[in-house]
Amino acid sequence: MNQPHTDEAGHETAAAHPAAMPPPQGGPYPYYPVSKPMNNLALVALILSVSGIGIGGIICGHIARKQIRENPHQDGDTLALAGLIVGYCATILVTLLIAAYVAFIIFMINHAPTV
């Protein structure tokens, strides 16, 4: 059943003696790409916009995107863009809420019953 393996010269090969085979070696380490450093202003823009300080998020977002365009070794353009979008939406929403509140106050003053 278990016949020894021989080469052309008649010598037994290592396959005939499994204990003589070296243990399998691990392959080379897998390649992990080095990530670019994150632009901190991009993260600040998103945090400010989400926390309700839309103007600060808009300003930081524009500055961060300019820095990322000028230095291609930085990452974070998506965060800066998200900060800009959320900042503009938050600023528009707050402006509309303030305008509605002022309009409500003016309406109530003009339609108040006279005593």
CB 92 within 8 A of CB 57: no
With a cut of 90, say whether residue 100 has pLDDT above it.
yes
pTM: 0.64
Strand partners of residue 12: 6
pLDDT tens-digit series, residues 23-47 = 667 777 777 777 888 999 999 999 9
pLDDT of residue 11: 66
Rounded alpha-carbon distances, angstroms, from residue 109 to 14, 32, 44, 101, 104: 100, 67, 41, 12, 9
Mean pLDDT of the chain: 85
> What is d(CA 83, CA 75) in angstroms, rounded to the nearest whole number?
14
What value does the mean pLDDT take over residues 74-80?
Answer: 92
Decide if 63 contacts 39 (C-beta within 8 A).
no
